[in-house]
Structure 1
Amino acid sequence: AMLDAFKDDHALFRAASKDWRHNTQVLRSGCAALDINLSGMVIRYANAGDCRALVCGCKKRKIQTRCPRPPPPEQERLKLEHPKEDLLIVSGRLFGKLISTRDDSNFRGFRTSRRFLPGFGDRYYKLPRGINNWQHKKHIDVLSSLDQDRGKVPLNAQYESYFYGYRTPPYIISTPDVGVMNLTPGGFVVCGSDGLFDLVSSNEVAGIVWQGIIDGVENLALTTVMETRKPGDDVTILVLQYS
């Protein structure tokens, strides 16, 4: 059900709506989402994008940290699903534009829940192609009218540089990673978006939260981390403690 919800909520083609202009602007950017469902001592998760659910249990005063198993790296998926497209990944980016993988060297041995570009938004890389890209170009022409309203260089004027290798869409998928993990009494779950884990490792996050629980503080040091290291991204952090 969680898997279907992600795909249904991101259906590309819907019935005509009077809010189509607003909806189109919303889909202009990429987005990530993490959904968790707690039932007793079991957590079910669905993750699309650069988010992470960190499950931490305590045994003999030692923190045991688990993350969902990582999916295949995004570049690997793209190459498998779009073979014989030699110019697909340029300088680590999809068609040299969209970041298609992240450096997870700062995770210090912890497995990541997602290591690639967001599944929501970035609609330009999901539209149908048509013969000689005519259908894709038609969509881009319509969508580019919004860029003109905002004083930006319209995307159709940059078509060749953005979509020179556009042959077998969609290149981005909204299908999330899904799975189930068991919880341990006395532990906690940290849900964070990519900005948090760009700054600190899973080990550091677990240590900060655990020390805060021991000290009985209400305002955890994660706030200090965000203030001192200034992520260049929007960040959302949710901490759940269970008994």
Structure 2
Amino acid sequence: MRQTTKFHTESFKLMGISPVYSPHRLQLITEKEAEINRTLPLALKELYAVEGVEEWFEDGNGDQLVPLQRIELETREYWELELGLKFLNLPDNIKANEGIYFFIECQGCWSWWVLLNGTEDPPVIVESLYDEAQILACEKLSDFIFANAWDVSLMDSPSFQTGEFSCEEAFLQILRAQCVEKPTTRLAFTVHRYRFGYKGCRLLLFEETGQLFMSADHEEAKSELMELINPFVQWERV
């Protein structure tokens, strides 16, 4: 089995990485599993099995994937007693007593874990500084990785531009009706980051600040999208 097509294919396309397993990386994964006495969820294993993924995150200025050799198995008891963190409003069907620390914010302030709840594509939780608790960041690891790849590809685009949006509920209704909704992530229980695609255009919305970010591969599609969303957006002048 060479191609990682089950979970991260679209993410690797955005990253510009060939989705092929590295025998060396697979050996490192086997050693890590023996070290922590756990089998990694398949989606996490696929992510770390591809050459160049760690470097892709390292080369950017954004949040970072923890290197495979540094990922750690942690328990809910450790989170509660040592870190003072408890689950906040996590659905019962995704809760677990163990997780793997695998992702960190670029300034080291936020941490993310995959929960070992027995699923191949497990949920991701984050240490929310807003809630002072662990909340659900994304229901699937594959969606979380896709969201990060989406954001980087958008912000690195030559067509990148920013604005501020208003009338959030009405705006979201329009976007959901006319665009393709991509994975949503959370930094707090009530704070979301929304993503939408439209004919080669990419949108990212920060609920906490009212900021909107956009890139476009085609001018015609960009014009269509801007006509659709301009009533809700005040664009920043370049």
TM-score between both structures, scaled by the size of structure 1: 0.24
Structure having the higher strand fraction is 2
TM-score between both structures, scaled by the size of structure 2: 0.24
State which structure, 1 or 2, has the greater radius of gyration over its C-alpha atoms: 1
Relative contact order (C-alpha < 8 Å, sep 6+): which is higher? 1
